[in-house]
C-alpha cells in the first residue's frame, strides 16, 4: 500500500554498509524500487483521471483483512534482517510479543498501532495493493467488494520487479527468466504471510542484541 505522503517520485532505499555484507539485499532493494516506480506512475495516471487515492497513513484495513498476503523467499530474508537489525525501541519490544503469538492476532504481526513496522521492507504484494475512492470499511477487502477501485499495476514494472530478484534463486538464463515470470511459476515460491514461522524471529532478535 502506498500513502498520500508517498506521492513524490520514489527513491531507492539505501543501506550501503549492509549491502556490502549481504549480497541478497541489493536485488531486493532494486526490486522494491522498480515496483515503487511503477506504482507511482500507475497512481499518477489514475489521478489525472480525477481519481483520488484512499490509502493514507493510519489506514490499516488491508493489514487486517488480507489473510493470504504472499511473500517470496527473498522477501522473508529481507523482513527477518530488517526486524532483527533495524527496528529499535518500543516497537521492537512490541514486535517480539506479537511475533510469538502471531497465529492468534487476526492481523499482520508487523502491524503496530495501526502502522506497518516493516514499511520500507514490506512485500511486493503490499506495495501493489492500493485503493481509490473511499477508505475501506472495517473488515472490507476491496479486491472482492469493489475491484474497480483497486489499482491495476503496470505489468512492465511488476514483471521487472520480480525479474531482478531471480539471481537469488540460482543461475537462470534470460529465456527461462521470462518463462518463469510470464507463466506465473515464480509465484509458486511464495508463502502466505500467516503461514510463516514468525514465532522463531524473537530468538534471532535477542541473539542480535546479545551480540552487540
Find all residues with CB under 8 Å of 49, minimum gap 6, and list them.
none
Q: What is the pLDDT of residues 150-188, one digit of tens each?
A: 999 999 999 999 999 999 998 888 888 888 898 888 899
Q: Which residues fall within 8 angstroms of residue 166, CB to CB, at 6 or more apart?
A: 172, 177, 180, 186
Mean pLDDT of 89-107: 92
Percent with pLDDT over 90 in the chain: 70
127-68-102 Cα angle (round to 5): 100
Candidates 195, 196, 176, 198; CA nearest to 185 is 176
| Digit-coded pLDDT (tens) for 3-50 | 544 457 899 999 999 999 999 999 999 999 999 999 999 999 999 999
- Cα gap 75→122, rounded to integer Å: 8
Mean pLDDT of the chain: 92
Q: Is the pLDDT of residue 1 over 70?
A: no
pLDDT of residue 128: 96
Q: Name the residue with cell 511503477.
A: 38
Q: Please give the model's pTM, rounded to 2 decimal places.
A: 0.91
8 A C-beta contact, residue 109 and residue 96: no
Mean pLDDT score, 72-81: 98
Tell me the C-alpha distance between 129 and 187, whole Å: 16
For residue 194, give the nearest of 58, 20, 47, 67 by alpha carbon.
67
Is residue 76 over pLDDT 80?
A: yes
- For residue 170, the model assigns a pLDDT of 87
Domain boundaries, the chain: 4-211
DSSP track, 134-178: SPPPTT--HHHH-GGGB----HHHHHHHHHTTGGGG----HHHHH
For residues 87 and 117, the answer to whether their CB atoms sit within 8 Å is yes
pLDDT of residue 41: 97
Strand partners, 112: 115
CB 133 within 8 A of CB 79: no
Cα separation of the two ends of the chain? 34
- How many Å apart are CA 186 and CA 175, to the nearest integer? 14
Amino acid at each position: 500500500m502506498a500513502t498520500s505522503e508517498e506521492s513524490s517520485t520514489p527513491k531507492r532505499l539505501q543501506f550501503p554498509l549492509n549491502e556490502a555484507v549481504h549480497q541478497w539485499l541489493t536485488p531486493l532493494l532494486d526490486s522494491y524500487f522498480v515496483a515503487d516506480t511503477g506504482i507511482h506512475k500507475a497512481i499518477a495516471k489514475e489521478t489525472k483521471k480525477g481519481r483520488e487515492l484512499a490509502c493514507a497513513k493510519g489506514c490499516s484495513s488491508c493489514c487486517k483483512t488480507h489473510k493470504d498476503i504472499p511473500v517470496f523467499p527473498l522477501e522473508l530474508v529481507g523482513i527477518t534482517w530488517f526486524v532483527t537489525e533495524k527496528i529499535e525501541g518500543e516497537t521492537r519490544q512490541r514486535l517480539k510479543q506479537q511475533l510469538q503469538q502471531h497465529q492468534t492476532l487476526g492481523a499482520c504481526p508487523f502491524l503496530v498501532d495501526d502502522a506497518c513496522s516493516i514499511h520500507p521492507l514490506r512485500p511486493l504484494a503490499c506495495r501493489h495493493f492500493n485503493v481509490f475512492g473511499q477508505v475501506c470499511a472495517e473488515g472490507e477487502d476491496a479486491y472482492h467488494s469493489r475491484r474497480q477501485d483497486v489499482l491495476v499495476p503496470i505489468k512492465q514494472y511488476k514483471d521487472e520487479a520480480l525479474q531482478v530478484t531471480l539471481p537469488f534463486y540460482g543461475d537462470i538464463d534470460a529465456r527461462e527468466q521470462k518463462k518463469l515470470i510470464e507463466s506465473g511459476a515464480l509465484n509458486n515460491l511464495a508463502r502466505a504471510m500467516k503461514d510463516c514461522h514468525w514465532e522463531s524471529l524473537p530468538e534471532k532478535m535477542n541473539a542480535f542484541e546479545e551480540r552487540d
